[in-house]
Structure 1
Amino acid sequence: MQAQKPAQRVKARRRGPRLRQDIRVFVRLFPWGIALIMGSGLLVTAWFFQRDFSRVGSLPEPLTYVQALLSVIKILQLDYDLPVPSALDPYFALLPLIGLPLFLLFGVNVFRVIRVFFVRQERGPAWQAALAATAHHHILICGMGRVGYRLAQQLLGLGFDVVGINDASSPLVETLLDAGMPVLIGDVRNEGVLCQAGVTRATTVVVCTNHDLVNIEAALRVRDLNPQARIVLRLFEDEIAETLSATFPVAAIISRSALAAVAFAHAALGLEIVETFQLGERQCVLTWLPVKEGSPLVGRRVGAFCDALDVAAVLHRVGNGLPREPESEAVLQAGDALLIFAEEGQLAPLLACGEVAASRRPIAVCGLGHTGYRVVLRLLDLGQPVMALDFEPGRLAQRLIERGVRVTFGDLRQPAVLAAAGVGEAGALVVCSEDDVLNLEVVLRAREVNPGLRTVLRIFEEGLGAQLQQAFGIDAVYSTSAIASPAFLSAVLQFNVAQLVTVDGGDFYLTRLTVKPESALVGSTPAQLTAVEGVTVALHARGDRVTVPPAADVILQGGDELVVLASQPQLRWLSRERRR
């Protein structure tokens, strides 16, 4: 059976709640004020009409209140057929004059509300504002760019109420609107817009626009409006982040480019980084390690290899088969691959394994935005020679020049420019500008200059990335927002944080959890948890001591932290066991 796509799963899961949400918004938008004025006026007018008609009327029996009410309605319809004394002429003149415009206004408003209720494409700012007003204890995301969009999708998939703010409409915003998520268009720094989005009722606010100063100003405004809210802030400048974290109470400050740089830099060297995240002061990674023909790994046992490098094997893929939980005594063969969990400092020994040995040929980095700049710095930290290329000079390029990095400017889509920059002698090329089409074109032109070049491509659409990788033989394709969004998700959820990792079509969750003193996990061991199908314990932390892989017989205590790779059913089981 073909697995549902994430977007399909989210829509299916939220269909019932969305209907209840739409009904709440319909009730909120219904013109109750006009209806109350009309209803009250109709009842009061009927009472006066009954009194006056009974005093001057010529009917053999007095007019009842119900008859008077029906008479007033008929007068409004210009369809009254009872004999009426001339003393009641004011009713026939004034009622249609005042009542008909009110009825028309009421009808137009009711029609508009009914129309937008059934025709989702007609829903505008008023509907989004009303929809946001129904949210309580929700998560507010300020900035619906690539990071905000992916974070919103993940939170919606986990069943959270999410409200977004963006400065303009976009295809990403439209996709979220179609999924039933309220997104307000406005300035994230504007107090009125924040209040419309329910900032005072939000439990967590994520500020993740592309501009540091905008993010800081928005965060300060959020703190003034809701001192109890947890604030997750996106920043690029490390110096600002350090100063701000010391003086301003935020739950987390995250740099998308810093997280993505780890994946891009190591991909250029031959390692496929699946996931990067912080564990205290430690930067940890989840990476695929291929076993190639002639590699020293061929013939080694999985357990012995992991013990030698102090890493954890999370999954073992035999040939072209599906990944499975590794067996310690399994013997590695050419064509196998191991999904390795390790601290970043352990990646250098992994690079020495087989054909992924680090080359001393320079690595070319094209596109010196936030991501490209940090990729260059990461490669320099790894001791790799680097050449940088960009279309035109910029602030970050100047910083690299000051550090002694060779930087070339020009139209990188021209093979002559790439050749003059030295791409023909490079061992790998990382292309990471903000333009997906431009990145692909640079990769193709660079292949003309250097056919044996290892290529790493930045792209937003992960599905398209996999197709491009297969069609053009690109060695690695990454999305910076996809790499960074799990870190934002971790900061939002605080505990039992699940990071989705797709491994050959199977969905696993890289989960960090704290063992509570009252949890059912207390007294068990990592070996007992790993024995459960669909669960692999990759890390155990107690105090300042982190063990990778964890000792199989250590007894779990309250306050211990675990990093676990679990299937979705086992993730729910772990969550229940943790709370019990």
Structure 2
Amino acid sequence: MASVDLSPSGPGRALARWWNGRGAGGDRSPHYVVCGRDPLALRLINELLAARPDVRVTALVPEISALPELMTLRRVRTLVAGRLDEAAFAGVGLADVAAVALVHPDDVTNIHAALCAREAAPEIRLVLRVFNGKLAARAREVLDDCAVLSDASMAAPAFVAAALGEPDPTHFRLAGRTMFVARRGDVPPGTVVAGLADAAVGGEPEILPEDQARAEIVLAEATGRPAGTEVAARRLRWRRRRRRPLAVLLRAGRALVDRKLGVALLSVLGIILISGGLQVREYLRAGDGSTGVWRAVYQTVLTTVIGAERDLAVTHVLQVTDLVLTLAGLALVPLITAVVVSAVVNARLALAAGRLAIPHSEHVVVVGLGTVGTRVMAQLHDLGVDVVAVDKDANARGASLAARLGVPLIVGDAAREETLLAAQTGSAQALVVVSTDDVTNLQAALNASGINPDLRVVLRLYDGDFARRVQRAFQIAISRSVSYLAAPAFAEAMMDREVKATIPVARHVLLVAEVAVTAGGELVGAALRAAERPGGARVIGLARAGSSVVDWAPPRDHPIDVGDRLVVVARRQGLRDLITAANPPAPRTAPAEDAPR
């Protein structure tokens, strides 16, 4: 559908009156408004269009060039509004709108638009995209019937898990139970709730297989004990290694001290230790019984620092060690001074050149400290993983957090090989590339793979089809789209469905939801197993009509009754099919008149 200008004198007013008149004229098809200008808005619109064949969507964009793909979509009205205020929402017409999604990449814009929309339609359901946690909490308090979501929060755990080689982590609490995603071999068999995917087969995993015993990735219940995975053990080893002061000092010394100076200092120290040991032994052997270990060590240290006094009466061994220690002591102080000066100078040069002053290994390099990269960096740091950040802007959104956490920040273009070398990608275990530029992300991933062929690369790409082709063509292990991961949750929030959590598995997204069975639905009277669809939906719990208690092991032959609530884990299409089967069919409506030209 063509775009129109939503201004007081623009042609959008006539189209708005016709579009909104469809609902007033008896068209009961749901109508949603999406306000945004980036791939999340486009993906959200596609999710809504896929939800029902009769859905209507109004896209409110600042300019049509922001999302030109909207021009090819049916059942989408595209309106242009430079400012989201009461006038813009009045032009849209919110009388028949079920929900408004405000998904601009700016928190202030979304909250301001939410307040304006609430003024125009006090009862409208709002779905907000907010990055700042404090603003999100305040928005929930101020705005009724409002879902506040963060695409960065939803996507970051998937990137973190991919970087560590884990199944995608999802922890959520449902009806008094805490559940999480794990590999079947890492959890006790009695804690498995449902099989999610059979990842043992090459290629794409089989999602929600009919034979649950074949599923390697499972949804399990947390029982108060850690899963005991190998990844968790690696994290513990990383934490312990990072906390060893001696290891940190040795790594810093290797990086900052000139090699020749280091060899000279170690040689002098070795001579002092050997000569000092011999002298202590001689003092103890030649003593009259009153010379203890401490006194012998004391005399030896003084000889090294201030030199020995002439004494021809002592043994030849003591005379030789006195000479050696005196000469070594003369060389020790200048060497220590030179080492300190060298370390300070090298550290400053490294920082000025954008290199790491201390060598890193088995670390994770995070490229791009925007909304997603900042959360990925923080979560990796919280898990005890060594992190190095890269961004071309020294004042990036996550730069201040990196400084507070002590995460090194390399300022430079990640698409250049020199920047990746400065981040010591050659010794890293993973590279997470989450900048907002697909070309930069892909080039950084390819260059890093050339530097370290064993590197695990996690790549953010906006276009899902492009991500799949890149993954196959360039053998890049993992490629993800933030909008792909987050859009289903935004869509379900707009439709006011009881979605409790989203579970990303490979490039698929599973939803954990409650489905209420109403009178007239085809599931009424059928056995519980009839609600399950292999590859689409699986029932994991049942709350019987009139009860809030969830039975987590319901019999599969239980007859479904009106008012029952099914707790399911499902794919998007599987959930839509299940909701359709649990509710009576929507009444048929007369075709709408043609739109005005």
Normalised-by-shorter TM-score class = 0.5 to 0.7
1:276 deviates by: 9.0
Cα-to-partner distance string for 1:489-536 (whole Å, 9 max, x where unaligned): 11111137699999999x997462333575776787755644889542
The equivalent residue for 1:313 is: 195
Cα shift at 1:237: 0.1
**Is the 2:158–2:504 Cα contact (8 Å) retained in structure 1?**
no
Q: How far is the alpha carbon of 1:359 from its aligned partner?
A: 8.4
Q: How far apart, CA to CA, are the structure 1 residues paired with 2:14 and 2:211?
A: 55
Kindly indicate whether the alpha-carbon contact (under 8 Å) linking 1:200 and 1:225 is maintained by their aligned counterparts in 2.
no
Per-residue CA deviations over 1:24-63 (Å, capped at 9, x if unaligned) read xxxxxxxxxxxxxxxxxxxxxxxxxxxxxxxxxxxxxxxx
Alignment of 1:119-518 (within 5 A): 128-133=12-17, 134-135=19-20, 136=23, 138-157=31-50, 158-159=52-53, 160-170=55-65, 172-176=67-71, 178-271=73-166, 273=168, 307-316=189-198, 319-320=201-202, 323=206, 325-327=209-211, 338-342=216-220, 349=227, 351-352=229-230, 360=238, 361-394=362-395, 395-495=397-497, 510=511, 512-516=513-517
Pair 1:512–1:348, CA change in 2 (3 A): same
1:572 aligned residue (564, 577, 584)? 577
Do the aligned partners of 2:536 and 2:571 also contact (CA within 8 Å) in 1? yes
Structure showing greater relative contact order (alpha-carbon pairs closer than 8 Å, 6 or more residues apart) = 2
Matched with 2:568 is 563
Aligned to 1:52: none
Q: Deviations over 1:364-418 (max 9, x none)?
A: 1110000000111222233322221111212421122112222221222222222
Q: Deviations over 1:526-576 (max 9, x none)?
A: 5564488954224557988778x7454696784645123268578435533
Supply the distance in 1 between the matched residues of 2:217 and 2:376 (Cα, whole angstroms).
Answer: 23
- 1:320 Cα deviation from its structure 2 partner: 4.1
- 1:62 is matched with which residue? none
Deviation at residue 169 of structure 1 after TM alignment: 1.6
Distance 1:473 1:508, change over 3 A: closer
Counterpart residue identity of residue 572, structure 1: D
Q: How far off is 1:327 after superposition?
A: 2.9
Deviation of 1:340 after TM superposition, in Å, equals 2.8
Residue of structure 1 in register with 2:355 after alignment? none
State the 1:124 CA deviation: 7.1
2 CA distance for matches of 1:139 and 1:255?
20
Quote the Cα distance in structure 1 between the aligned partners of 2:377 and 2:176: 22
Q: Matched residues in 1 for 2:178 and 2:414: separation?
A: 33
| 8 Å Cα contact 1:415-1:448 kept in structure 2 | no
In structure 2, the CA distance between the partners of 1:243 and 1:180, relative to structure 1 (3 Å rule), is closer
Secondary structure of the 2:63 match is: coil
Gaps of 5+ in 1: 1-119, 298-304, 331-336
Report the CA distance between 1:251 and its aligned residue.
Answer: 2.2
Contact persistence 2:366–2:388 (CA under 8 A) = yes
* Conservation of the 8 A alpha-carbon contact between 1:138 and 1:161: yes
Cα distance change of structure 1 residues 283 and 216 upon mapping to structure 2, 3 Å threshold = farther
- The answer to whether the 8 A contact 1:128-1:183 is kept is no
CA shift in 2, pair 1:571/1:183, >3 Å: closer
Give the 3 Å change call, closer, same or farther, for CA 407–357 of structure 1 in structure 2: closer
Q: Distance in 2 between matches of 1:545 and 1:353?
A: 35
Using structure 1 for the length normalisation, give the TM-score: 0.65
State the alpha-carbon separation in 2 of the partners of residues 141 and 347 from structure 1.
Answer: 43
Alpha-carbon separation, structure 1, partners of 2:109 and 2:434: 24
Q: Whole-Å Cα distance in 1 between the matches of residues 88 and 581 of structure 2?
A: 38
Unaligned runs of 5+ in 2: 24-29, 239-361, 586-597
Contact 1:397 1:407 in 2 (8 A): yes
* 3-state SS of paired residue (1:209): coil
Residue 253 of structure 1 and its aligned partner are, at CA, apart by 0.2
CA–CA distance in 1 between the matches of 2:77 and 2:199?
Answer: 42
Q: In structure 2, how many angstroms separate the alpha carbons of the residues matched to 1:413 and 1:130?
A: 49
SS of 1:349 mapped into structure 2: coil
Partner SS state of residue 227, structure 2: helix
CA distance in 2 between partners of 1:509 and 1:176 (Å): 29
Number of residue pairs matched?
A: 440
CA distance in 2 between counterparts of 1:502 and 1:386 reads 23
Displacement of 1:144 = 3.6
Task: Give 1:388's aligned amino acid.
Answer: A
Q: Which amino acid aligns with 2:49?
A: L
Q: Deviations over 1:272-318 (max 9, x none)?
A: 5398988689897778x5x9xxxx68xxxxxxx67255342034366
Secondary structure of residue in 1 paired with 2:447 = helix
1:17-56 correspondence runs (5 A): none
With the length of structure 2 as denominator, give the TM-score of the two structures.
Answer: 0.63
Which residue of structure 2 lines up, in the alignment, with residue 49 of structure 1? none
Task: Please give the root-mean-square deviation of Cα atoms over the aligned residues, in Å.
Answer: 4.2
CA distance in 1, matches of 2:225, 2:433: 22
> Per the alignment, do residues 248 and 568 of structure 1 end up closer, same or farther by CA in structure 2, a change over 3 Å counting?
closer
